[in-house]
Amino acid sequence: MEREVELRRKIVRAFQYLESLGVNFGYSGNISVRIGSDRILISPSGRRKSDLVPEDLLVVDLSGRVIEGSGRPSVELPTHIAIYKARMDVNAIVHVHPVYASVFAVLREGIPPVLEETVIYVGGEVQVADYAPTGSPQLGENIVKALGDRSAVILANHGILTVGRTLDEAVDTAVYVERAAKVYLLARLAGKPHPLPDEAYRLEREIYLTRVKSNVV
Protein backbone atom coordinates (compact mmCIF):
# COMPACT_ATOMS: atom_id res chain seq x y z
CA MET A 1 0.00 0.00 0.00
CA GLU A 2 1.23 3.48 -0.86
CA ARG A 3 2.54 5.80 1.82
CA GLU A 4 0.00 8.12 3.41
CA VAL A 5 1.85 11.26 2.32
CA GLU A 6 1.62 10.22 -1.33
CA LEU A 7 -2.04 9.23 -1.00
CA ARG A 8 -2.82 12.68 0.38
CA ARG A 9 -1.24 14.26 -2.69
CA LYS A 10 -3.10 11.88 -4.99
CA ILE A 11 -6.49 12.74 -3.47
CA VAL A 12 -5.83 16.46 -3.93
CA ARG A 13 -4.76 15.91 -7.54
CA ALA A 14 -7.78 13.67 -8.17
CA PHE A 15 -10.21 16.42 -7.19
CA GLN A 16 -8.42 18.88 -9.48
CA TYR A 17 -8.42 16.38 -12.35
CA LEU A 18 -12.11 15.54 -11.97
CA GLU A 19 -13.06 19.22 -11.90
CA SER A 20 -10.94 19.89 -15.00
CA LEU A 21 -13.02 17.27 -16.85
CA GLY A 22 -16.33 18.63 -15.55
CA VAL A 23 -16.97 15.46 -13.54
CA ASN A 24 -17.11 17.28 -10.21
CA PHE A 25 -17.80 20.85 -9.14
CA GLY A 26 -17.19 23.24 -6.27
CA TYR A 27 -17.99 21.94 -2.81
CA SER A 28 -19.56 18.66 -3.95
CA GLY A 29 -18.08 15.19 -3.94
CA ASN A 30 -15.83 13.25 -1.61
CA ILE A 31 -12.91 10.83 -1.87
CA SER A 32 -11.39 8.33 0.54
CA VAL A 33 -8.66 5.70 0.53
CA ARG A 34 -7.73 2.87 2.88
CA ILE A 35 -4.51 3.46 4.80
CA GLY A 36 -4.59 0.36 6.97
CA SER A 37 -6.86 -2.43 8.11
CA ASP A 38 -9.07 -0.10 10.17
CA ARG A 39 -8.32 3.45 9.01
CA ILE A 40 -9.18 5.59 6.02
CA LEU A 41 -8.07 8.95 4.68
CA ILE A 42 -11.07 11.09 3.67
CA SER A 43 -11.80 14.56 2.34
CA PRO A 44 -13.31 17.19 4.64
CA SER A 45 -16.84 18.57 4.60
CA GLY A 46 -17.70 22.11 3.57
CA ARG A 47 -14.59 22.83 1.50
CA ARG A 48 -14.14 23.65 -2.18
CA LYS A 49 -12.59 20.42 -3.35
CA SER A 50 -10.25 21.80 -5.99
CA ASP A 51 -8.70 24.10 -3.35
CA LEU A 52 -7.79 21.32 -0.92
CA VAL A 53 -4.19 20.73 0.15
CA PRO A 54 -2.85 17.41 1.51
CA GLU A 55 -3.00 18.62 5.13
CA ASP A 56 -6.78 19.20 4.86
CA LEU A 57 -7.53 15.47 4.69
CA LEU A 58 -8.59 13.57 7.81
CA VAL A 59 -7.68 10.13 9.13
CA VAL A 60 -10.73 8.30 10.46
CA ASP A 61 -11.18 4.79 11.84
CA LEU A 62 -13.94 2.42 10.74
CA SER A 63 -16.07 3.36 13.72
CA GLY A 64 -16.14 6.95 12.43
CA ARG A 65 -13.75 8.42 15.00
CA VAL A 66 -11.37 11.13 13.76
CA ILE A 67 -7.78 10.06 14.47
CA GLU A 68 -5.95 12.92 12.81
CA GLY A 69 -6.90 16.25 11.25
CA SER A 70 -9.06 19.26 12.00
CA GLY A 71 -12.52 20.09 10.75
CA ARG A 72 -15.25 17.61 9.93
CA PRO A 73 -14.90 14.60 7.66
CA SER A 74 -17.24 14.31 4.70
CA VAL A 75 -20.90 13.97 5.63
CA GLU A 76 -20.83 10.81 3.49
CA LEU A 77 -18.43 9.10 5.91
CA PRO A 78 -21.03 6.47 6.96
CA THR A 79 -21.37 5.42 3.31
CA HIS A 80 -17.61 5.08 2.87
CA ILE A 81 -17.32 3.01 6.05
CA ALA A 82 -20.19 0.73 4.98
CA ILE A 83 -18.50 0.02 1.65
CA TYR A 84 -15.06 -0.65 3.14
CA LYS A 85 -16.61 -3.10 5.60
CA ALA A 86 -18.59 -4.89 2.88
CA ARG A 87 -15.91 -4.95 0.15
CA MET A 88 -12.43 -5.93 1.28
CA ASP A 89 -11.24 -5.59 -2.33
CA VAL A 90 -12.00 -1.85 -2.27
CA ASN A 91 -9.17 0.50 -1.32
CA ALA A 92 -10.56 3.76 -2.72
CA ILE A 93 -13.95 5.44 -3.11
CA VAL A 94 -14.90 8.42 -5.29
CA HIS A 95 -18.27 10.17 -5.05
CA VAL A 96 -19.00 12.91 -7.61
CA HIS A 97 -21.92 14.76 -9.23
CA PRO A 98 -21.29 14.72 -13.01
CA VAL A 99 -23.96 16.19 -15.27
CA TYR A 100 -24.87 13.32 -17.59
CA ALA A 101 -24.78 10.61 -14.94
CA SER A 102 -26.87 12.87 -12.70
CA VAL A 103 -29.57 12.84 -15.40
CA PHE A 104 -29.93 9.11 -14.76
CA ALA A 105 -29.81 9.73 -11.01
CA VAL A 106 -32.83 12.02 -11.37
CA LEU A 107 -34.57 9.52 -13.66
CA ARG A 108 -33.66 6.78 -11.16
CA GLU A 109 -32.65 4.71 -14.14
CA GLY A 110 -29.55 2.59 -14.61
CA ILE A 111 -27.04 2.85 -17.44
CA PRO A 112 -27.09 -0.41 -19.43
CA PRO A 113 -23.94 -2.00 -20.86
CA VAL A 114 -24.06 -0.45 -24.32
CA LEU A 115 -20.30 0.15 -24.37
CA GLU A 116 -17.65 -2.53 -23.89
CA GLU A 117 -15.75 -0.37 -21.41
CA THR A 118 -18.81 -0.20 -19.14
CA VAL A 119 -18.56 -3.94 -18.56
CA ILE A 120 -14.76 -4.05 -18.43
CA TYR A 121 -14.41 -1.22 -15.93
CA VAL A 122 -17.74 -1.27 -14.06
CA GLY A 123 -18.65 -4.95 -14.27
CA GLY A 124 -21.98 -4.50 -16.04
CA GLU A 125 -24.95 -2.18 -15.79
CA VAL A 126 -24.52 0.84 -13.55
CA GLN A 127 -27.42 0.22 -11.20
CA VAL A 128 -29.35 2.69 -9.04
CA ALA A 129 -29.24 2.75 -5.24
CA ASP A 130 -32.59 3.63 -3.69
CA TYR A 131 -32.88 7.16 -2.37
CA ALA A 132 -32.01 7.92 1.25
CA PRO A 133 -30.88 11.17 2.90
CA THR A 134 -27.26 12.19 2.38
CA GLY A 135 -24.97 10.74 5.05
CA SER A 136 -27.61 8.44 6.52
CA PRO A 137 -26.84 4.82 7.45
CA GLN A 138 -29.69 3.80 5.15
CA LEU A 139 -27.97 5.37 2.16
CA GLY A 140 -24.86 3.34 2.90
CA GLU A 141 -26.92 0.14 3.05
CA ASN A 142 -28.68 0.99 -0.22
CA ILE A 143 -25.40 1.69 -1.99
CA VAL A 144 -23.75 -1.53 -0.81
CA LYS A 145 -26.76 -3.51 -2.03
CA ALA A 146 -26.92 -1.85 -5.46
CA LEU A 147 -23.14 -1.90 -5.94
CA GLY A 148 -22.80 -5.65 -5.46
CA ASP A 149 -19.48 -6.76 -6.95
CA ARG A 150 -19.40 -3.91 -9.46
CA SER A 151 -17.28 -0.76 -9.41
CA ALA A 152 -19.92 1.94 -9.84
CA VAL A 153 -23.41 2.82 -8.71
CA ILE A 154 -25.86 5.65 -9.32
CA LEU A 155 -27.30 7.37 -6.25
CA ALA A 156 -30.96 8.27 -6.83
CA ASN A 157 -31.42 12.07 -7.09
CA HIS A 158 -27.81 12.57 -6.10
CA GLY A 159 -24.82 11.50 -8.23
CA ILE A 160 -22.53 8.50 -8.68
CA LEU A 161 -20.07 6.56 -6.56
CA THR A 162 -17.17 4.47 -7.84
CA VAL A 163 -14.72 2.14 -6.13
CA GLY A 164 -11.36 0.63 -6.99
CA ARG A 165 -8.37 -1.31 -5.78
CA THR A 166 -6.50 1.97 -6.16
CA LEU A 167 -7.50 5.62 -6.26
CA ASP A 168 -6.54 5.78 -9.94
CA GLU A 169 -9.00 2.98 -10.69
CA ALA A 170 -11.85 4.65 -8.83
CA VAL A 171 -11.16 7.99 -10.54
CA ASP A 172 -10.93 6.43 -14.00
CA THR A 173 -14.17 4.54 -13.42
CA ALA A 174 -15.98 7.78 -12.54
CA VAL A 175 -14.81 9.24 -15.85
CA TYR A 176 -15.92 6.12 -17.75
CA VAL A 177 -19.36 6.21 -16.12
CA GLU A 178 -19.90 9.86 -17.07
CA ARG A 179 -18.85 9.05 -20.65
CA ALA A 180 -21.21 6.05 -20.76
CA ALA A 181 -24.07 8.20 -19.45
CA LYS A 182 -23.45 10.83 -22.12
CA VAL A 183 -23.19 8.30 -24.95
CA TYR A 184 -26.30 6.41 -23.84
CA LEU A 185 -28.36 9.59 -23.43
CA LEU A 186 -27.34 10.89 -26.86
CA ALA A 187 -28.00 7.49 -28.42
CA ARG A 188 -31.52 7.51 -26.96
CA LEU A 189 -32.13 10.94 -28.46
CA ALA A 190 -30.85 9.78 -31.85
CA GLY A 191 -32.59 6.43 -32.00
CA LYS A 192 -32.71 3.08 -30.22
CA PRO A 193 -29.51 2.05 -28.40
CA HIS A 194 -28.49 -1.59 -28.75
CA PRO A 195 -27.00 -3.45 -25.77
CA LEU A 196 -23.90 -5.57 -26.14
CA PRO A 197 -24.49 -9.10 -27.46
CA ASP A 198 -24.77 -11.66 -24.66
CA GLU A 199 -21.52 -13.43 -25.57
CA ALA A 200 -19.55 -10.17 -25.63
CA TYR A 201 -21.07 -9.20 -22.29
CA ARG A 202 -20.10 -12.56 -20.78
CA LEU A 203 -16.50 -12.36 -22.00
CA GLU A 204 -16.03 -8.77 -20.84
CA ARG A 205 -17.62 -9.54 -17.50
CA GLU A 206 -15.00 -12.28 -17.08
CA ILE A 207 -12.27 -9.76 -17.87
CA TYR A 208 -13.66 -7.49 -15.16
CA LEU A 209 -13.92 -10.24 -12.55
CA THR A 210 -10.40 -11.49 -13.30
CA ARG A 211 -9.01 -7.98 -12.98
CA VAL A 212 -10.72 -7.05 -9.71
CA LYS A 213 -9.75 -10.36 -8.11
CA SER A 214 -6.14 -10.04 -9.23
CA ASN A 215 -3.39 -8.71 -7.00
CA VAL A 216 -1.88 -7.04 -10.04
CA VAL A 217 -2.92 -3.37 -10.08
Q: What is the pLDDT of residues 91-102, one digit of tens each?
A: 999 999 999 999
Chain segment 28-67, per-residue pLDDT in tens: 999 999 998 899 999 999 999 999 999 999 999 999 999 9
pLDDT in tens, 181-204: 999 999 999 999 999 999 999 999
Q: Which CATH superfamily is domain 4-213 in?
A: Class II aldolase/adducin N-terminal domain (3.40.225.10)
Is 55 an active-site residue?
Answer: no
d(CA 19, CA 103): 18
Per the residue annotation, which of 4, 55, 68, 76 is the catalytic one?
A: 76
Residue 216 has pLDDT above 80, yes or no: no
Q: What is the predicted pLDDT for the residue at 180?
A: 98
159 vs 78: CA distance, rounded Å: 16
pLDDT value of position 214: 78
pLDDT confidence of 1, banded at 50, 70, 90?
Answer: low
Mean pLDDT of 156-181: 98
Positive or negative, the CA dihedral 4, 66, 86, 122 is: negative
Residues 65-90 have a mean pLDDT of 97
Q: What is the DSSP string of 73-86?
A: B-TTHHHHHHHHHH
pLDDT tens digits, one per residue of 113-154: 999 999 999 999 999 999 999 999 999 999 999 999 999 999
Q: How many CB atoms lie within 10 A of CB 185?
A: 18
The type of residue at 181 is A
Count of positions (residues) in the chain: 217
Residue 2 confidence (pLDDT): 72
